[in-house]
Amino acid sequence: KAASDPVEKVTVAGKYCESGDLLASDVMLPEIETGDILAIPAAGAYCPSMASNYNLNPRPPMVLVSNGKSRLIRRRESYQDLMQCDVL
């Protein structure tokens, strides 16, 4: 859909339950559907070096894209990953 014409002004919010978790405000995008993937460069605390498990949110996978090919370089964290160090 990258080549599609923008049709709607939207605000893209992050997954955290915080009023300041906005990734883009008032941007024109093509029609978005469930399952679409948005690429957001310079995503601040969503980048690997600043990512956290705030509110028990598992970190997403990392995909390397080079020369038109993609490769998984870090798997998605699971809730089991988040809880494995708990001793209660």
> What percentage of residues in the chain have a pLDDT greater than 70?
100
CATH of the domain at 19: 2.40.37.10
- Taking the C-alpha atoms of residue 73 and residue 4, their distance in angstroms, rounded to an integer, is 29
Give the model confidence (pLDDT) of 45-85 as tens digits: 777 888 888 888 899 888 898 999 999 999 999 999 999 99
Q: Is residue 2 part of a domain?
A: no
Q: Residues 13-32: what's their mean pLDDT?
A: 87
> What percentage of residues in the chain have a pLDDT greater than 90?
38
The count of C-alpha atoms lying within 13 angstroms of the C-alpha of 65, restricted to the half-sphere facing its C-beta, is 4
Expressed as residue numbers, the domain containing 66 is 8-83
Q: Is residue 1 part of a domain?
A: no
Q: In degrees rounded to 5, what are phi and psi of residue 49?
A: -70, -20
- Taking the C-alpha atoms of residue 88 and residue 24, their distance in angstroms, rounded to an integer, is 40
Number of domains in the chain: 1
What residues are annotated to the active site?
17
